[in-house]
Amino acid sequence: MEKAADGRIGILRGWLVWERRGRGNKVLLAISVSLAAFITGAFVWAIFNPVPGDYSRYFLLTWVWGLCIPALLFGMAEWKTSPLRKGRERGRYWVLLYVGALLIVTRALNMFLYHAP
């Protein structure tokens, strides 16, 4: 069982090129991914618990949507300092692409789920 867990973690660490990243780059990546995970979780919750016309929830999710901006800024800083960028390796844009997609999709979801009836 431990080998399977080590294998999955090893694959993830290899995909993230974790060993080649500096401490600052790891922090930027962790912050960006954490914000993206929080935003994703909030909107997954909102999809399963819609309340059309609830202005307070609309406002709250607009605030959560606004967290995409710091996530993008941390993602851009991570990209700029990334060893993947310097080596022109594959996978160097995944954080920026994911948060950019969140920016578009979550805004559309918020307007769709909480429109006035």
SS3 of the chain: the string is CHHHHHHHHHHHHHHHCHHHCCHHHHHHHHHHHHHHHHHHHHHHHHHHCCCCCCHHHHHHHHHHHHCHHHHHHHHHHHHHHCHHHHCCCCCCCHHHHHHHHHHHHHHHHHHHHCCCC
Q: Each residue's pLDDT tens digit in the chain (117 positions)? A: 445 556 777 776 666 667 677 788 888 888 998 999 999 999 999 889 888 888 888 888 889 999 999 999 998 888 887 776 666 665 567 788 889 999 999 988 888 887 765
